[in-house]
Chains A and B, each alone.
Chain A
Amino acid sequence: MLIERTWKKWVYFYIPLTVFVVGTLFPFYWMLITAIRPDAELYRSWRAATNTPFWTLQPTLEHFRDLMAKTTFPQWLWNTFFIAVASTAISLFCGLLAGYALARLRFPMAGTLGTSIFVTYLVPPTLLFIPLANIIRTFQLGDTPWALILTYPTFLIPFCTWLLMGYFKTIPRELEECARIDGATRFGAMLRIVFPIAVPGILSAGIFAFTLSWNEFIYALVFLSSPEKKTVPVGVVSELIRGDIYFWGQLMAGALLGSIPVALVYSFFVEYYVTGLTGSVKG
């Protein structure tokens, strides 16, 4: 009996978990190894007897130094952070109000409107960048961070609204009604009762919006032109890929450093994130 349970644990839990963890973390490990691998090893043949593809015996910080000294990576990092935080804040604000209204208020076409908002999220950004470029030109926002801060919400708000709408629906109306009976206005009840309970949902929407803004490429490529105004995804690709030569060490160093803020945000709020996606308050 005990033996059977042991092998079942291995087959159904440990082995799948190991495969999952290795599959998930291997790209990061590969990034790290490439970032600290000296150039001589990067150009060593896979068939070479001395080849050690999965580790390095001569780790170096040379690529990190070059990244910091020869490119404006710290500036790109700051630009990305500023743009991601600002567009996330705008999207969350709009998403919260829209999500609450669609979940709680009764008005004609509310359901259709909710679905329509989600459908707009499904339009590929690669199709939207041309009309958006037109709008950016009209408002003379080209080559400013505001070009991105105001365009990212076009795909972030629908997602935040949809996610938060679902979350608000899991919060019992009775809680809000109690507050209304005790004299709170609708806005007061929303602010003091519903939103605090919805913190996991708000955080998960925020994290998702932040990640999407952080990694976005096509709008950042099209709307920003000055090297000092670029974001990490565009700056790294522009400066560290020269035709058919990739500066792999610096590219991986940039990718690694660029993913740290997102990883930190996730690690701090992972429990809220999971709860936010699954819904915590059951009626």
Chain B
Amino acid sequence: MRRREFLTTTGLAASVAATGLESIVAARRAPAFAQGTRLNILRWVDFVPACDVELRRQASEASKALGAEVVFEFINANDLQPRITAAIQSGAGPDIIMMLHNWPHLYANGLVDVTELGEWQGKEQGAYYAQSEAAAKDGARWLALPHGIVGLQFAYRKSWLEEVGQTTWPRTLDELRQVGMKLKKKGKPMGQTLGHTFGDAPAWSYPLVWAFGGMEVDRTGKKVVLDAPATLESVKFMQAFWKDACDEGGFAWDDTSNNRAFLAGEIAATLNGASIYIAAKRGQEKIKDEKGEPMVKDIQHGPIPNGPAGTHGYHVAFSHAVMRYGKNVKLAKDFLTWLHGKQQFAKWFEVAEGFSVGSTKYWEQHPMWERVDPPMKIYRQAAAASRMIGYAGPPSARATEAYTKYIIVDMYAKACQGTKAEDAVKWAAGELSKIYG
């Protein structure tokens, strides 16, 4: 790809009037960045290795076109926050950093305003999912540019559910508990972590509050309303579900434990990203079921079943933030315009095969969805049913603080460990009040 083609693909000049790309295109020459300029992008190590390979390939392409070296660095997701903190505090580090959840609100003061990019992407690729917008937008200001969403669903063993007479995925939480009881009696419990883990525990705990109609705060985001009958009901459900249907070792599980337990044939179902299915598919010669068949053939996905107030998942939004301390802000914005543009994003999106979906509804119509394996099709529209942590208040750094302190997760963990449901809810509401108070 040449510089001219690069600009054409990033181009979209008409719709990016405010970004500066217009002036680049109008000038009919590539931006002149100082020789030796390097653009560093920090991301997590993707669950799908091919996605990182594709990004490295795109970086090489972008380097040639931009006349600046574009370098991706991939680190473990759990190590992103220390890197972000150090970078912002010291005023040095990667030019662009991947943000998970609603971190952009937490680090807002260290980020460049990317409103023009956010609006351009929304216009080019259709309406954003509410989750993407909540994660990266503060009022009218875009703090980061939404890149995608990782969906979380229940992975379950079809044949095991059939063994207890369940031919479809349970529709209600009560049904889930009944099925889980039967499975546990057969030595095939469900598995759910209630540990301090970055993904699976919150992705189960928050939706459970919402499924019963509970909320952390009211719509203003100022009043804590967690201590309510709905939350109490959800905690009582969890106590029973834990005892009747789950592997009770889950208190000590981290994000990896349920993957291993599922692939080892120790649990019948668990809430997770699609990584279990992907690992089983990639290693189908080694990961077999009890009949000696590839386990992947027996895996299906299902949503969190309905509670009295319906079902709302928590799917992890991620975005790219341009760091304020960076010396290559313009280059960073130009690169993001290119990377997030339909043409480039589509290549990465196809490689992800549904593990990560787009940040806008446009990507639900992509032909890839016709090609993916049937168990992956559920991820096509999953992101639409997601809520953001800190519900029902507006997205805020306080919600992130509550999340990073695992208050909602610990509320359920305490109750399942023997604390009275009422006391667990009061404790959690008290902890939230310290943050929101």
- A residues bordering B, Cβ < 8 Å? 38-40, 43-48, 129-130, 133-134, 136-137, 142, 218, 221-222, 225-227, 234, 237-239, 241-246
Contacts and interface: CB of A to CB of B under 8 A. Distances in A.
A47 B188 CA distance: 11
A68 B259 CA distance: 26
Instruction: From A38, A44, A242, name the one whose CB has the most chain B CB atoms within 10 angstroms.
Output: A242
A244 B76 contact: no
15 contacts: A39-B287, A40-B288, A129-B82, A130-B90, A137-B91, A137-B92, A222-B86, A238-B79, A241-B45, A241-B76, A242-B49, A242-B275, A243-B255, A244-B256, A244-B259
Contact of B45 (A40, A225, A238): A238
Given A130-B86, A238-B75, A244-B273, A40 B287 contact: yes
Interface residues of B, number: 46
Contacts of A226: 71, 73
Contact of A225 (B46, B94, B199): B94
Nearest to A39: B286
Query: Can you list the 7 inter-chain pairs with the closest CB atoms, starting with the nearest?
Result: A133-B90, A137-B92, A244-B255, A243-B47, A40-B286, A45-B264, A134-B90
B157 to A, nearest CB: 12
Contacts of B260: 43, 246
A237 B76 contact: yes
A220 to B, nearest CB: 11
B33 interface: no
A48 to B, nearest CB: 7
Interface string B273-303: 1010001000100111000000000000000
B22 interface: no
B200 interface: yes
A43 B89 contact: no
A129 B263 contact: no
B73 A134 contact: no
B286 A43 contact: yes
A221 B84 CA distance: 11
B256 A227 contact: no
B389 interface: no
Contact of B82 (A136, A218, A242): A218
B104 to A, nearest CB: 20
Interface string B244-262: 0000000000111011100
B187 interface: yes
A160 to B, nearest CB: 26
Interface in B59-88: 71, 73-77, 79, 82-83, 85-87
Given A46-B264, A242-B46, 18 more contacts: A39-B286, A40-B287, A46-B266, A48-B265, A129-B82, A130-B89, A134-B91, A142-B93, A221-B79, A237-B79, A239-B45, A242-B275, A243-B44, A244-B200, A244-B259, A244-B273, A246-B256, A246-B260
A242 B47 contact: yes
Contacts of B71: 226
B433 interface: no
B40 interface: yes
Contacts of A239: 45, 74
A38 B42 CA distance: 33
B359 interface: no
B272 interface: yes
Contacts of B73: 225-227
A47 B91 CA distance: 52
A222 B82 contact: yes
A228 to B, nearest CB: 11
A226 B56 CA distance: 13
A46 to B, nearest CB: 7
Interface string B345-369: 0000000000000000000000000
Contacts of A40: 286-288
A222 B42 CA distance: 12
Given A130-B86, A130-B90, A243-B255, A47 B45 contact: no
Instruction: From A47, A133, A221, name the one whose CB has the most chain B CB atoms within 10 angstroms.
Output: A133
A106 B40 CA distance: 52
Contacts of B45: 238-239, 241-243
Nearest to A126: B82
Interface in B100-120: none
Contacts of B89: 130, 133-134
Contact of A243 (B77, B91, B287): B77
A142 B265 contact: no
A129 to B, nearest CB: 6
Contacts of B90: 130, 133-134, 136-137
B265 A221 contact: no
A18 B77 CA distance: 40
A222 B87 CA distance: 8
A47 B76 contact: no
A163 B86 CA distance: 31
Contacts of B199: 243-244
Given A43-B286, A48-B265, A142-B92, A244 B83 contact: no
B427 to A, nearest CB: 28
Nearest to B72: A227
Given A39-B283, A221-B79, A245 B86 contact: no
